[in-house]
Amino acid sequence: MMSSELFFKPITELAALLESGKTSSVELMRAFVGRTQAVDRRVQAFNSCDESDALAQARASDLRRAAGGAIGPLDGIPVGLKDVIAVAGQPLTASSRMLAGFVSPYDATVTRKLKEAGAICWGRLNLDEFAMGSSTENSATRTTGNPWDLDRVPGGSSGGSAAAVAAGEAPAALGSDTGGSIRQPAALCGVVGLKPTYGRVSRYGLIAFASSLDQIGPFARTVEDAAVALGAIAGHDPLDSTSFRSEVPDYRAELARRRGPWKLGIAREYFAEGLDPEVGAAVEAAIAHYRKLGCEIREVSLPHTKYAVAAYYIIATAECSSNLSRYDGIRYGHRSPAAADALDIYFKSRAEGFGAEVKRRIILGTYVLSSGYYDAYYLRAQKVRTLIRRDFLDAYREVDAILTPTSPTAAFKKGERAADPLAMYLSDIYTIGVNLAGLPGISIPCGFTRGKLPIGLQIIGKPFGEAEMLAIAHAYERDHDWNRQHPDLR
Amino acid sequence: MSTSPPAALDIDRIAALARIALTPGEKAAFSAQLGDVLAYIALLKEADVTGVEPTAHAFPVENVWAEDVPQPGLPVAAALGNAPAQHDRMFAVPKVVE
């Protein structure tokens, strides 16, 4: 089998090839290593990859299969990991100078679960430093290009994960989503990206950004692949006290069982000023398709949407200022060689180790939590969070899911928003409410601009309603071929 | 408690609280950029939050208990593996008492 035929195949097809013996995991892994060597100098999705370790994992999978012990659909399949997810013995940098040279002493729970499912942990993927950003330009290691147009950003913060899947360097990847960091890059790179309900997936071993918002989820080529990957990583974990005690459905089987028709909500607030007309038209066409499938489209109101970005940038920065206080140059991370005494270690190590956006957010978070401002900012933002959450729960009394654009625009040019943090923050306007409310959301490809840049449709589900949300996404995907078009990166 | 409009962000005070040494250039840039962000965030003052409870977590998290049983921790060598400086199986720091 030609290795080029493998790059863009979904997991489900690769698994069938492995099962029938038409290819081996080692052959598959070699193909992805070759592809990465061929294109990643231009795409720059990977911070690091360990080819010999990946090939050893592939050999182990082939031996398991030969002995009749293949585990399931992920056995022998490479999965990339955002460089904030710990893999024992491998580098973990958060794309920050602060963690240059850091080696994970243990596996994250999602890493352990992927390994238990037989998947090959393949490379550590670039991101905005400490997952703070919407373009992956805040990385201290490299600037990732969008595979559809390398002069444009892949989105962020999980830009490396999205770009690697879009460029055929991995069939799937994990990312983390605090304000849209899985869904927005998925939309901008033309792949599927799923943010699970808060508590659905353990965050043990994920470098923390904003703990009441962070959630790990998969990038994939198809909705079915996302269902397979979510099933592998979901579930309660005693090591994460926010992880939820409930059964994990067989998401893949549920796709076939749940056939609609559904009641789908459209919120006027998500089609307002700032939405690019081409993006709006593609999303309207997707809505029309659901209507054709017999779904009832209802208008719902999410009146507090306009406050979401403001509330988010108070809550997320407050939590990040607290979480990132651990980087003090004492037990791990960068220690300034110029520091004279203990206090000086903190000031200089943090000055040298953190990049501009991380410093900006720590400063803002420290300010909103500081004496005299706590009630006016942080407490008020938490109350507004209640209102935003209530909007969604009220809407879900009438509808099964809500359809929105994922991002107000397609991929923008590198450098275009770098000097204006507020403009960058507004890139997340359609994704942030989902994190504040703790809901699941998925972005799926729903078209291209005239300039051949991907457009994403966001489907927002009910709490712990991933199975229904995936089925709704699958119903659209089945009738379209957007995800079978690939960027020209020869 | 303060509900009055915030004064301009005192960048020196906040940077000291955050334990980050900022350059004069960073102070000037951050003050201007965060001024824009704070002006945007002031939008929240419009929201009527009378009688609304704050949400810290999207789903109420009660205390989660674990059995009080010792679990294996990281071996010393692994815990020290990323230490910037170590001495005699311990993290080393500059002298903090005279």
* Nearest CA-CA partner of A456 in A467, A448, A441, A446: A446
Q: Which chain B positions have a beta carbon within 8 Å of A339's beta carbon? A: 94
* Minimum distance, in Å, between the CA of residue A452 and any CA atom of chain B: 33
Q: Between B10 and A272, whose confidence is greater?
A: B10
Testing the interface with B: which of A363, A374, A396, A432 to mutate, by most B Cβ within 10 A? Answer: A363
| A309 close contact with B: CB closer than 8 A | yes
- Asked if B91 lies within 8 A of A241 by C-beta distance, the reply is no
| A52 labelled catalytic | no
- Asked if B81 lies within 8 A of A339 by C-beta distance, the reply is no
What's the average model confidence in pLDDT over A156-179? 98
| B97 close contact with A: CB closer than 8 A | no
| A157 labelled catalytic | yes
Closest residue in B to A348 (Cα) is B21
Q: Calculate the alpha carbon distances from A261 to A25, A222, A293, A294, A480 in Å.
A: 39, 21, 7, 6, 18
Q: Calculate the alpha carbon distances from A197 to A114, A170, A462 in Å.
A: 19, 25, 8
Q: Is pLDDT at A433 greater than 90 in this prediction?
A: yes
3-state SS class at B91: strand
The active-site residue out of A96, A134, A139, A181 is: A181
Closest residue in B to A378 (Cα) is B54
| Domain range enclosing A418 | 3-269+276-301+391-484
What's the average model confidence in pLDDT over B45-51? 96
Q: Is pLDDT at A294 greater than 50 in this prediction?
A: yes
Identify which of B40, B56, B64 has the shortest CB distance to residue A310: B40
| A105 close contact with B: CB closer than 8 A | yes
Contact A360, A418 (CB under 8 A): no
Identify which of A198, A348, A422 has the shortest CB distance to residue B21: A348
Q: Is residue A477 part of a domain?
A: yes
Identify which of A314, A333, A341 has the shortest CB distance to residue B41: A314
Q: Give the pLDDT of residue A61.
A: 98
Q: Is residue A370 part of a domain?
A: no
Q: Which chain B positions have a beta carbon within 8 Å of A383's beta carbon? A: 47, 49, 52-55
Q: Cα dihedral angle (A343, A344, A349, A354), rounded to 10 degrees? A: 80
Q: Is residue A111 part of a domain?
A: yes
Q: pLDDT tens digit string along A466-477?
A: 999 999 999 999
Closest residue in B to A356 (Cα) is B26
Q: Is residue A242 part of a domain?
A: yes
- Asked if A342 lies within 8 A of B94 by C-beta distance, the reply is yes
Query: Percentage of chain B with pLDDT > 90?
Result: 69
Give me the residue spans of the domains in chain B: 1-48
Identify which of B33, B61, B94 has the shortest CB distance to residue A242: B61
Is A244 exposed, middle or buried, given 0-12, 13-18 or 19+ CB atoms closer than 10 A? buried
Q: Is pLDDT at A306 greater than 50 in this prediction?
A: yes
Q: Which chain B positions have a beta carbon within 8 Å of A242's beta carbon? A: 57, 61
Q: pLDDT tens digit string along B28-40?
A: 999 999 999 999 9
- Give residue B5's pLDDT band: very low, low, confident or very high (50, 70, 90): very low
Give me chain A's average pLDDT, please: 96
pTM: 0.96
Q: What is the C-alpha to C-alpha distance for residues A129 and A463, in angstroms, rounded to an integer? A: 29
Q: Give the pLDDT of residue B7.
A: 54
| B69 close contact with A: CB closer than 8 A | no
Identify which of B40, B79, B81 has the shortest CB distance to residue A422: B40
Q: Give the pLDDT of residue A1.
A: 62
Q: How many CB pairs under 8 A join A and B?
A: 174
**φ, ψ for residue B21, nearest 5 deg:** -80, 110
Q: Give the pLDDT of residue B65.
A: 85
- Letter string b/e over residues A189-222, b meaning 16 or more CB atoms within 10 A of that residue's CB: bbbbbbbbbbbbbbbbbbbbbbbbbbbbbbbbbb
* Minimum distance, in Å, between the CA of residue B90 and any CA atom of chain A: 9
Q: Is pLDDT at B4 greater than 80 in this prediction?
A: no
Chain center to CA of A447 = 20
Q: What is the C-alpha to C-alpha distance for residues A212 and A376, in angstroms, rounded to an integer? A: 20
What ipTM does this complex have?
A: 0.92
Q: Is pLDDT at A4 greater than 80 in this prediction?
A: no
Q: Is pLDDT at B1 greater than 50 in this prediction?
A: no
What's the average model confidence in pLDDT over A252-278? 94
Q: Is residue A447 part of a domain?
A: yes
Query: Percentage of chain A with pLDDT > 70?
Result: 99
Looking up residue A15, the CATH number of its domain turns out to be: 3.90.1300.10
Q: Is residue A220 part of a domain?
A: yes
Q: Which chain B positions have a beta carbon within 8 Å of A90's beta carbon? A: none
Closest residue in B to A343 (Cα) is B19
Q: Is pLDDT at B2 greater than 50 in this prediction?
A: no
| A306 labelled catalytic | no
The number of distinct structural domains making up chain A is: 1
Testing the interface with B: which of A242, A312, A328, A364 to mutate, by most B Cβ within 10 A? Answer: A364
Range B1-48 has CATH code 1.10.8: no
| A463 close contact with B: CB closer than 8 A | yes
Q: Give the pLDDT of residue B96.
A: 81
Q: pLDDT tens digit string along A37-91?
A: 999 999 999 999 999 999 999 999 999 999 999 999 999 999 999 999 999 999 9
* Minimum distance, in Å, between the CA of residue A376 and any CA atom of chain B: 5
Q: pLDDT tens digit string along A23-36?
A: 999 999 999 999 99
Q: Is pLDDT at A252 greater than 70 in this prediction?
A: yes
